[in-house]
Amino acid sequence: MTTVVAHRRRIFADFALALRVAPLLDSGAHWRDSRSLCWVLMPDHCHLLVQAGLDGSLASLIARLKAHTARTCNLARNASGPLWQRGFHDRALRTEQDIAAVARYIVRNPIRAGLTSAVGSYPFWNAVWV
């Protein structure tokens, strides 16, 4: 799944702000019985690989995640208003092989974007396999 910052602002290029939001992507507060398998926080968007649970829809899960991260960002910046664009892009995966390939793709996003030369040196990502 991918969600984008409103107006494609590079808000998470601010290291301190990204440092506040990154732990929320692993936090169980909004995941309920779903599970974050892999994520990367880019300067203007976020990629997530989520194992959906039975407790609610994907849309409600993403709404909780966006609300939680927006509150945190707005408090840190003494700002108000939306952080994220409306909606998100998602794609269902069918096999374990698909999951592994998508996880590799997600964590390599900072390399493709020229933000780092190695996954391990980019600070804003995580995967359950690490």
pLDDT digits (tens, 9 = 90+) for 71-95: 999 999 999 989 999 999 888 887 7
Structure token digits, residue 44: 């203007």
Q: Domain 2-127 has what CATH class? A: alpha beta
Label residue 45 by pLDDT band (50, 70, 90). very high
**Closest by alpha carbon to 61, among 28, 94, 83?**
28
Alpha carbon separation from 96 to 56, 89, 92 (Å, rounded): 23, 20, 12
Label residue 59 by pLDDT band (50, 70, 90). confident
Give the domain ranges of the chain: 2-127
For the entire predicted model, the pTM comes to 0.90
